[in-house]
Amino acid sequence: MLQVNRISKRFGYNQVLKDVTINLIDGEHVGLVGANGSGKTTLLEIIAGNLQPDSGSMITSSGDLIGYLPQNPIAIQAETIADSMLLALNQTNPYPSQEISAREEADARKLLANLGLGYLSLAAPLRTLSGGEGTRIQLAALLLQRPEILLLDEPTNHLDIPALEWLEKFVIAYPGIVLLISHDRVFLDRTVETIYELDEGKEGIRKFPGNYSNYAKLVAQEKQKAYELWKDQEVEIKRLRGDWLATAEQARATEKSTKDSKARRYAKKVAKKGTAKKKRLERYLESSERIEKPMDTWRININFAEAEHQSQQLLIMEDLSFGYADTPLFKDLNLTITAGQRVALVGANGSGKSTLLKILMRQLPADSGTYRWGKSVVIGYMPQKQEDLDPHFTPIEQIQAVKGMDLSETYHFLHYFLIDEDHAVLPTSALSFGQRSRLLLARLVAQGANFLVLDEPVNHLDIPSKEQFEKALDAFKGGMLLVAHDRAFIARTCNTLWKLKEGSVQVDIPNEDWM
């Protein structure tokens, strides 16, 4: 059992959470959604005991262990992977052990393999791991504990599609309470039976039965109903205003057209009637029941330029091969992208997806084979690690370096990508990962690219921003080569799948069944 009662939290002048209440029973699996900044991670931090609320309380069943996976890996007091597993196990063991048992080691190895880390030794030092590997190690250690309450903040980050599918099955079968934050719509659809929504513009929290697709359907219906009520209200306001103006004009015309005292007295009565109608309109406009025009919460405004005339053949690869030392990543790739084709390159972590993009972007030389781009292709490249952004440049300088804009135009342009005036003048290194992603998107738009090479472009974007990006790509008429693990994003934006496995590529078509 998990009861969260009227939790509130403020950071300075910013009220992040107010009167949030959640009641979960044993075995319930719940998704927590909301835009970036709505307080999702703050709520999980409070439930995990890492952050104290300003007010409110939390109750769990006696003896229930809370396991928490934060969005970014945290430093732990362990030297090796085995040490981190032992540290996690000892948190639940009444008789702490000095070393991991053979059974526990087998369980740990199985978890690591399922999460795509089977290539790592348990003796591997944690300091040698990447951030993505560190996150998956912490997830494996957490799952080894089997806590009664499992809190997961973006657990699908850094997971390839096979690991995603395994984690889905694990969470579905998990016997305890699961409260998770995810921007992966397919993952939410398959793992939760209830959605809780945090909205930065509203107090408390809202509960929706069903998975994410059902939540999205209910919210869309809500918005449509609110819009129809607003339209009816606008018709009534127009009628009241017209009635008042017509009455007032009748009074004025009568009074001006005659000197007859009786007629003028009648005109004054009409004028009073018009004044009464004006006050009625004013009361209607000031009423607390008046509906404001429903507006989608403002997200990224992306509008790619119309692609110019393109060659029929956008990219041709012939016998392209690459590997490190004696380990080939891919060999003799013969692939073509033609006009109108949008390709998603998928495969396990480490299979060579990002490496292939770097070769095509001339950042790495191929071992053998050739590739060539169409003559009219203008490439817009978004690297996974955001290394293409100069950390010393401000967002203003990043945009002005690729497109001639004056200062005012650049501020206005960045504003569409949720980069305000204060952040527009900071060095890029001072921005959050999400802000850098939006800056990279802004730069692609400014470049006027007609072919997009995107390496994990929706990392760090919330669901509304992902959906906005999907709409922009739908309007984009150029070609695309995309590396991503977000299955819903791929199915909505691409018409071809390249599956990279064991050094070769299988060509397929993405669809709902594939998701």
Q: Is residue 97 part of a domain?
A: yes
Contacts of 438 (CB under 8 A, 6+ apart): 300, 417, 418, 419, 461, 465
Whether residue 153 lies inside any domain: the answer is yes
In this structure, what CATH number is given to the domain that contains residue 103? Answer: 3.40.50.300
Same domain, 214 and 241: no
Instruction: Give Cβ neighbours of residue 496 (< 8 Å, ≥ 6 apart).
Output: 341, 342, 343, 344, 507, 508, 509, 510
Q: Give the span between the Cα atoms of 36 and 298, in whole angstroms.
A: 12
Q: Look at residue 98 and tell me if it is in a domain.
A: yes
Tell me the residue type at 221.
Q
Neighbouring CB atoms inside 10 A of 154's CB total 20
Please name the residues in contact with 243: beta carbons below 8 A apart, sequence gap of 6 or more.
277
What pLDDT does residue 19 have? 92
**Are 320 and 213 in the same domain?**
no
Strands laid side by side in the 479-483 sheet:
379-382, 451-455, 479-483, 342-346, 496-501, 504-508
Beta bridge partners of 8: 55
Give the chain's length: 515
Considering the domain architecture, whether residues 246 and 117 belong to the same structural domain is answered as no
User: Could you tell me where the DSSP H helices lie in 39-101?
Assistant: 40-48, 81-90
Question: Look-up: residue for tokens 């790619």?
Answer: 304
CA distance 145 to 496: 40
**pLDDT score recorded for residue 439:** 85
Same domain? For 277 and 413 the reply is no
Q: Which of 219, 239, 273 is the last residue of a domain?
A: 219
- What digits encode the pLDDT tens for the residues 204-229? 899 999 999 999 999 888 888 887 88
Residues of the domain holding 160: 2-219
My answer on whether 346 and 381 are in the same domain is yes
Residues in the chain, pLDDT under 50: 513, 515
For residue 437 the two structure tokens come to: 């992603």
Query: What is the overall mean pLDDT for the chain?
Result: 84
268 and 381: one domain? no
Nearest Cα residue to 305 out of 489, 455, 478: 478
* Eight-state DSSP code of residue 288: T
Rounded to an integer, what distance in angstroms lies between the CA atom of residue 171 and that of residue 193? 12
Would you list the DSSP string of 420-488? Answer: -HHHHTS-GGGS-HHHHHHHHHHHHHHHT-SEEEEESTTTT--HHHHHHHHHHHHH--SEEEEE---HH
Amino acid 513: pLDDT: 46
Question: CA 186, CA 515: separation in Å to the nearest integer?
Answer: 7
**Separation in Å, CA 407 to CA 269, 307, 397, 413:** 59, 26, 10, 10
Residue type, 420: D
Contact 142, 150 (CB under 8 A): yes
How far is it, in rounded angstroms, from Cα 199 to Cα 207? Answer: 12
Question: Does 65 share its domain with 183?
Answer: yes
Joined together, the tokens standing for residue 442 give 């802004």
Is 92 a member of any domain?
A: yes
Determine, yes or no, domain membership for 294. Answer: no
Considering the domain boundaries, does residue 305 fall inside one? no
Say if CB 417 and CB 442 are below 8 A apart.
yes
Residues 78, 211 within the same domain: yes
Q: Which long-range contacts (CB under 8 A, 24 or more apart) does 426-433 make?
A: 426/394, 426/395, 427/391, 427/392, 427/393, 427/394, 428/389, 428/390, 428/391, 428/392, 428/393, 428/394, 428/395, 428/398, 429/391, 429/392, 431/395, 432/460, 433/386, 433/459, 433/460
Is residue 304 assigned to a domain? no
- Reference 485, options 358, 384, 388, 338; nearest CA is 384
Please tell me the distance from the alpha carbon of residue 265 to that of residue 251, in angstroms, as a whole number. 10
Same domain, 33 and 169: yes
The per-residue pLDDT for 362 is 92
The verdict on 356 and 215 lying in the same domain is no
Last residue of one domain, picked from the residues 181, 204, 219:
219
Q: Are residues 448 and 373 in the same domain?
A: yes
Q: What is the DSSP letter of 325?
A: T
Domain count, the chain: 3
Q: Do 247 and 355 belong together in one domain?
A: no
Q: Is residue 52 part of a domain?
A: yes
With CA atoms as reference, report the closest residue to 114 among 54, 163, 154, 51: 163
Which helix (H) or strand (E) segment is 396 a member of? helix 395-400
> Which two tokens mark 500?
């990279």
Backbone angles phi, psi at 406, to 5 degrees: -80, 175
- Tens of pLDDT, residues 51-97: 999 999 988 888 888 988 887 766 677 888 888 888 888 877 767 78
Q: How far from the centroid of its chain's Cα atoms is residue 95's Cα?
A: 42
Report strand pairing: 504-508 vs 14-24: unpaired
The residue among 286, 304, 328 that closes a domain is 286
Record the tokens describing residue 357, joined without a space.
């993009």
Cα(487)–Cα(346) distance, integer angstroms: 10
